[in-house]
Amino acid sequence: MNPSAHKRQQILQQMEQIQTMELGSLRAETRPSKRHPACDCGPYFKHQVWEKGRNLTRRIPAEKAQELTEAIENRVHFEKLADQFIETTVSMTRAQAAFGSKKTRHNPSRRREGNRRICRRVLEASSLRAALAGLRVKIPRVCFPGRRPGDSTRHASAG
């Protein structure tokens, strides 16, 4: 089993061990007391979650707040594991796709001597103009439909 497949299996096992999850967030609030303004009452726990396009809020008793906090943390941990699973699967997929089409790398320390040495000697022996003059070939002018004879740059419709 390759390392990526092994990592995926480990992630799935961690996901499987998470037994409780809850959406939303939990906030602790305190409020000033009406009877004793110097003292704060609370904490009161407020669970907020988006459902059907609305932000729903409900109050949670203090004895259930710890349980709900763990469920929310489990969901966050599960989402991180899911992201890791996606990243691992994508890298595996790309590695498999690139396996057959991988380009071969050239050894940069090995210098190619082939035709470069010959071309360099030819150009050193004669001037560049003389070498290029031998390569020039004259092409007879051909009239194409839509062009005037002798006018190679302008179209007939433009003039």
* pLDDT given for residue 3 in this prediction: 86
Phi, psi of 72 (to 5 degrees): -70, -40
* pLDDT given for residue 77 in this prediction: 97
Kindly state the percentage of the chain with pLDDT values over 70.
62
> What is the pLDDT of the chain when averaged over all its residues?
77
* pLDDT given for residue 107 in this prediction: 63
pLDDT tens digits, one per residue of 61-81: 999 999 999 999 999 999 999
Considering the entire predicted model, what is its pTM? Answer: 0.57
Helix axes 3-16, 62-100, angle to 10 degrees: 160
Stretches in the chain below the pLDDT threshold 70: 1, 100-159
**3-class DSSP assignment, residue 148:** coil
pLDDT tens digits, one per residue of 34-59: 887 778 777 889 999 999 999 999 99
The residue length of the chain stands at 159
Q: Find out whether the peptide bond into 43 is cis, omega within 30 degrees of 0.
A: yes
Pairing verdict, β 25-32 and 40-51: antiparallel
Tokens 């602790």 sit on residue: 28
Q: Which residue ranges make up each domain of the chain?
A: 24-73
